């Protein structure tokens, strides 16, 4: 599998703040980038995906991609206690395979 590195957690943010999650990847040929949220004991749930350089917004979530720097990030605005989870960055390689980072655990303090 190709390398995907995520910033080490845990990340603790107060309710209402912005949580910023970062991810770097090793395969320059990667074309698709995904963020999954995983609650403890549950399965990964798709939050965002992005293919093109720049920003993509969906509600309180914004994904940012910079292929030249091999960097993808996720911003969670107005963080809520329900956002407390582990966030997995996934990057495709060889077209259909996904390599996952180890995850960043986010805790939103009420």
Partner 1 sequence: DAGVIQSPRHEVTEMGQEVTLRCKPISGHDYLFWYRQTMMRGLELLIYFNNNVPIDDSGMPEDRFSAKMPNASFSTLKIQPSEPRDSAVYFCASSLGDRGLQPQHFGDGTRLSIL
In the complex, the residues that contact partner 1 under the rule CB under 8 A are 1, 31-32, 34, 36, 42-46, 49, 51, 88, 92, 94-103
Contact 30, 92 (CB under 8 A): yes
CB neighbour list of residue 58: distance below 8 Å, 6 or more residues apart: 47, 48
Q: Which is nearer to partner 1, 73 or 99 (CB)?
A: 99
To partner 1, the closest distance from the beta carbon of 95 in angstroms equals: 4
To partner 1, the closest distance from the beta carbon of 90 in angstroms equals: 8
Contact 15, 109 (CB under 8 A): yes
| Nearest CA among 25, 24, 35, 21 for reference residue 75 | 21
Q: Which is nearer to partner 1, 24 or 79 (CB)?
A: 24
Q: Which is nearer to partner 1, 79 or 106 (CB)?
A: 106
- Rounded to 5 degrees, φ, ψ at 56 are -135, 125
Q: Which is nearer to partner 1, 18 or 46 (CB)?
A: 46
To partner 1, the closest distance from the beta carbon of 34 in angstroms equals: 6
CA-angle at 9, arms to 7 and 65, nearest 5° = 30
To partner 1, the closest distance from the beta carbon of 43 in angstroms equals: 4
């Amino acid at each position: 599998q190709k390398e995907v590195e995520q910033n080490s957690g845990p990340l603790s943010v107060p309710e209402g703040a912005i949580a910023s999650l970062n991810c770097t990847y090793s395969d320059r040929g990667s074309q698709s980038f995904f963020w999954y949220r995983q609650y403890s004991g549950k399965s990964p749930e798709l939050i965002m995906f992005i293919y093109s350089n720049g920003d993509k917004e969906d509600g309180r979530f914004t994904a940012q991609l910079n292929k030249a720097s091999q960097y993808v990030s996720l911003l969670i605005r107005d963080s809520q206690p329900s956002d407390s989870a582990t966030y997995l960055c996934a990057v495709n390689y060889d077209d259909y395979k996904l390599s996952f980072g180890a995850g960043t655990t986010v805790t939103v303090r009420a």
